[in-house]
Each structure stands twice: as C-alpha cells, then as structure tokens.
Structure 1
Amino acid sequence: MNIVVTGATSFIGAPMVDKLIGMGHDVYAVVRPASKNIARLDTGRERLHVIEMNLEEADRLDGAILMPCEAFFHFGWDGAGSENRMNRDVQQKNAADSLKALEGARKLGCRTFLFSGSQAEYGIHREAMMEDTPLNPVSEYGKAKVDFGRQAMEAVSRWRQEGHDCHGDSCADRASDHFRYIHARIFSIYGPGDHPWSLVESCLKTFPAGGYLSLGECTQMWNFLYLDDLLEALIALWLSGAEGIFNVAGESGETRPLREYVRLMYEECGCHGSYSYGMRPQNAEGPANLIPDVKKLMEATDWRQEIPFQEGIRRLIQRKNI
C-alpha cells in the first residue's frame, strides 16, 4: 500500500517509516525542507519517497504524491518541548496545519487518518484516564490537541454526510464515506531516539558514568511504554478497522510511582552514581498523574504489551553499550 507519514524524522515518525517499509508498503515521508534530521531516514531505500513540504501546505500533498494512498499517519507537530508547550500561537498553528493534513489525506483518497494525540489532553487527574474522562488540559499543547481532534471528527462526519447525499458515481467525495479517523492519545513513550533530556535518557546517561541526577518530587503515578510496543499498537489500530479515540500506553501493571521507575533504572545501571528528589520544578503541565486505561485499545485489537519496563531498559543499555 501507499502510506503517508508526517513528522517522518521524529522520535515516533522515523521508526514508523522503517516499520511500514519493512511490512512491504511504500511510504511517502513528509519532512520540512532542508530538515536537519533527514539523516534519521535511510533515503536510499526503494520504497521510501521523501516529500519536502511544510505542514501548512499539507492540503496540497496530492500535487506532490501522484498515487492514491491508503493511510495517513500524522506525527508532525511543532513545539512539543517544554519551552513551547504553553505557547498558544505555536500550538494553535499546529492544530490549523493538522486540519490541512486531514484535507490532504482526503484528497489522496486515504481510508484512514491516524493522529498522534496526547495524554496532555486530559489535564490533571488522580484517577484512571479513560477515553470518556472529562478533558481539562492545562497546557496550550494539550488544548490544541483537543481542538484539532474535535474539528477533525466534525470534518469527517460532514464528509460522510456529503458522501451519503451523493447519487451515482460522479460524486468526487464519495470515497470520504469510508474515511476513518483514529485519535491515539499517546502517553509516556521511551526508546531509541528519545529526547536527550527525557527522564529515561537522563538516567541512562548519568548513572553508568557515576554522576549525580537532580530530580523533581517524582511522587506521581506514571506509565511508560517502549517505542516498539507503541508502533505495534498504532499498526494494530490501523489494521483493525477501528475508529475513534484510543488511549495508547502500557498495560495496567506498568502503572507505578515514578520513583519506582527511577529505582529500577538505577539498579539496571549497576547502582552507580546517585540522585535526589525535590530539587527541580514541575514541568509545564504541573504534577500530573498518568494512570491510563487501555481496555478499549485491547478490545478493539489483538495488541498486547510485549516489553515490560525493565526489559526495555536492558535493551537501551545494550544499544548504548553501557
């Protein structure tokens, strides 16, 4: 199949490109012009087609991709780092650009549009987060993800109605009648290619070297999912025929106090170095608990988490030759 991936050089996008090509699909990887991260893609592969285009032009992708496409994986989103998560202008532009990507997918004849939502859409909660849990995002990042999801579902519903109202084969939008929108609310992911300032990367850099790590309180409940398991979950959602909103995170047994995760990483690194709590401020969203409920995902697909946290950390340690 022909598949479009935006944000194709990102932490999630680049390995998704690799996975889809490995499954035998042709991938149209949308990257910024003169992207500094293009080296993350093996551009010499036969089934990889790199499209240099800004996301604000994504509604015109049909002018650059001349083949009909089956699916559209949308990971392109600027300003996900802490410095821009509270910047309303940056985040609302992301939502507007993503609507153009949605339109681009429709023009390409895609049957599925999968969007990388976020746990930040929920805001601060003390209980388990289910897909129908009220949304109270704190950051502009979370608010923009919510705004886009609402507008996207409204657009898809409108397209379907237009398709139903068409008669005969002459209606250009007839294919929109079968357009599926998947909103994957992704929780905390770790793995190869993660940001160097993430908690996991900071621990795996500091502890083996015998260094000291200053941490926040780390008293909140948390849930980590290894990158490979995330990719399998997103593929499973695409292939299942499901649509709607789905939490994508580790299974319930992976939810534990964040301090427990730190302790496990410290032990896997041979108990070298040291760390202390309460020395750093909270992130942009504040002291959020991550208690995801993934029953809906597991009921809709045959996906099951394969890599528990300690195994994932061991894999990263091996990759880094620690």
Structure 2
Amino acid sequence: MRVVVTGATSFIGRAVTEALLEEGHQVFAVVRPDSSGSRELPENKNLTVLWYSLGEIGGLLDEPLLKEGVKGWLHLGWEGAGSANRQNPEVQARNIGYALEALKAAAALGCSRFLFSGSQAEYGILEGDMREDRECCPVSEYGKDKLKVLELCTREAQQLGVTYLHARIFSVYGPGDHPWSLISTCMDTFLKGGSIALGDCTQMWNFLYVRDCAKALVSLLLAKAPGGVYNVAGEESRPLKTYIEELHRLCGGRGVCQYGKRPPNAEGAVSLRPDIKKLQKTVGFCQETSFKMGIRYMINVRKAAKKETDT
C-alpha cells in the first residue's frame, strides 16, 4: 500500500514509518525542510522523503511522486506538542487547519483511510475508566484543539467519502523520546546518580512502548476497522509512583526521587485509566512489550551510545 505519513520524524512518526516499511508498504514521509530528525529515518528503497512543512501540505497535490495516488494517510504532525506550548491558543489552533488540509489532500489523492493522532488530553480530568463514548472535558488548549479536529474532520471526511480514524494516544515511551519526557528525565537522572523533583505521583497512569503504539496505529489504518475514536494505550494502569520506583530499581537503585516537589503539568493532576477493549476487539491489539522490557531496552540503548561516545 502507498501510505503518506505527516510528522514522520516525530517520536511516534519514526516508529510508525519503520513499522510500515517492515510490512513492505511504500511510505511517503512528509518532513519539514529544516527538520534535523530526517537523519533518524531508516534507509529503505520503499521510503521517499517529501520536504513540506505542515503549512504547505496542499502542495502535495502537485507532487509528481504522488501522481499515482495513495491509499492510506497517517497525520502525526502537530506544532507545539510540548508542555510549554500546550496552553498557547494561537499555536494550538493552527494545527486544526493543518489537519483539515491534510484530510482534503488525502481525499484528492484517492486516499480511502485517514488516521489522525489524537490525545488522552481530550478527556481532561475524569474519574474512572476513560472510554471512547464518554463526554470529554479537556483542560488545555492542546486537548481542546485535538477534540476540535475530531469534530471537524469527522464531518469533512463524511462529505469526502474518507474513513476517518481518531487515535487517542496515551503515554508512550521508548528510545528517541523527547529528553524532557518523564521517563527520559528520570532515567538520565538515575543513571547519573542524581536527584529529581517530582509531583506526588499518586495518580493512576498507563504507559505503552513506542513500537507497540506504532503497530496499533498501523493496524487501525490498514485493517478494515470502522471509522471513529480508538484509545491507544497499554493494557495496565497503576499508580504512577510504582512505575517510577520500578524504573529506579532497573537503573540500579541509584539517584533520589523527591516526591511532592513539583506542580502538575498543563493538564493538571490527570489520572489515566484508558479502556482499550475497542482497540483489542477491532484489530486484535495485544501489548508485546512490558514496562520492564521497554525500560531495559532504553537503558541498553543509552549505555551503547555512551560507550560509542567514550571511544
């Protein structure tokens, strides 16, 4: 299948691109012209990089390499996804237009299935399990605009005759994640024997290894899954503090955690309890990588990188 991936150099975008290539699909990775992450994309005869920013997506309609059309499109690009910009309405709102332009371009190129990367931030602060049919009450501009994309793209996709899939992605970790993410920050601190200030970490949390996330997204796109919202998350939710303590042990027990010393992030004190039965039933999703396995792999990657640097 010929597939377009916008946001292909993002953390999840790279994993999705690799998963598609492993299955033998022809991938057109849409990459921002000044992206340093393009160097991280794999070398593969089925991979073609197209240099367009999110604001230039309409230009893909005139791209000679796409004249044969495409069958699937994963829109994983989003400006201002970091915590610093999640409450910036101007930055966040631009992304709504980018998503709509991507959907229209996909339809014009003959695409039948379009997947958008939503977020758990759309739910806001809820008690109990987060199911796709529950009312959403987002707190941050980031969450509000991701939810707005769902509303607008669902309506637009119906008019265009495109199956629209809205993947609400929860906390994903793995090699290549942002250095300021919770897992990366804690791991780097512990391996150096340092000290880190955290919140209370008493809320329920859920982690999913990036490769498992990518496989779930690819399955949703390529299977005959009906359009709609799908939670993409791990199979286990437990107190965040237990994850941090397990990470601490796997890092050799070095370093110190100072709980209750840091305020909540832009979404507030969110408790994550995703219900993934819909994903499991629709595409047979099964988490392959336990938290322990994922963390051990990340540690090995860091140690190998350090050894290469030292030599």
Is TM more than 0.5 here? yes
Is the counterpart of residue 227 in structure 1 residue 210 in structure 2?
yes
User: Could you tell me which residue of structure 1 aligns to residue 171 of structure 2?
Assistant: 188
Q: 2:23 maps to what in 1? A: 23
Residue ranges of structure 2 left out of the alignment (5+ in a row): 305-311
| Equivalence for 2:230 | 246
User: Is the contact between residue 16 and residue 218 of structure 2 (CA under 8 Å) also seen in structure 1?
Assistant: no
Q: Distance in 1 between matches of 2:145 and 2:269?
A: 20
Query: Could you say which residue in structure 2 is the equivalent of 1:273?
Result: 255
Q: Does the aligned pair in 2 maintain the 1:59–1:102 contact within 8 Å?
A: no
1:49-68 pair list within 5 angstroms: 49-64=48-63, 65-68=66-69
CA distance in 2, matches of 1:272, 1:180: 49
Query: Residues 205-229 of structure 1, C-alpha deviation per residue, up to 9 Å, x if partnerless?
Result: 1112111111111111100000111
TM-score normalised over the length of structure 2: 0.94
Kept after mapping to 2: 8 A contact 1:2/1:67: no
- Specify the code of the residue in structure 2 equivalent to 1:13: G
Amino acid at match of 1:214: A
Amino acid at match of 1:290: L
Query: Does the 8 Å CA contact 2:103/2:157 hold for their aligned counterparts?
Result: no
The Cα shift of 1:235 comes to 1.6
Q: How does 1:116-195 map to 2 (within 5 A)?
A: 116-159=117-160, 176=161, 179-195=162-178
How far residue 34 of structure 1 moved from its aligned partner, in angstroms, is: 2.3
**2:54 counterpart letter in structure 1:** L
For residue 309 of structure 1, what is the amino acid of its counterpart?
Answer: F
Structure 2: which amino acid aligns with 1:50? V
CA contact (8 A) 2:190 2:255 kept: yes
Tell me the secondary structure at the aligned position of residue 148 of structure 1: helix
Aligned partner of 2:193 among 207, 210, 215? 210
Larger radius of gyration: 1
| Secondary structure of 2:36's aligned partner | coil
- Secondary structure of residue in 2 paired with 1:115: strand
- 2:9 equivalent to 1:9: yes
- Verify: 1:307 aligned to 2:289, yes or no: yes
Is 1:237 aligned to residue 220 of structure 2? yes
Residue identity matched to 1:301 = V
Q: Percent identity?
A: 48
Distance 1:34 1:214 in 2: 34
What one-letter code is carried by the residue in structure 2 that aligns with 1:116? S
> Is the CA contact (8 Å cut-off) linking 2:140 and 2:266 kept in structure 1?
yes
Q: Find the aligned partners of 1:158 and 1:233 in 2 and give their Cα distance.
A: 27
Determine the structure 1 residue equivalent to 2:180: 197
Q: How far apart, in 1, do the equivalents of 2:44 and 2:290 lie?
A: 32
Q: How much has 1:46 moved relative to structure 2?
A: 1.9
State how 1:49-88 maps to structure 2 within 5 Å.
Answer: 49-64=48-63, 65-88=66-89
One-letter code aligned to 1:145? K
Deviates further, 207-216 or 99-108: 207-216
Corresponding pairs, count = 301
Q: Offset of 1:56 from its aligned partner?
A: 2.0
Counterparts of 1:136 and 1:60 in 2: how far apart (Å)? 35
The TM-score with structure 1 as length reference comes to: 0.91
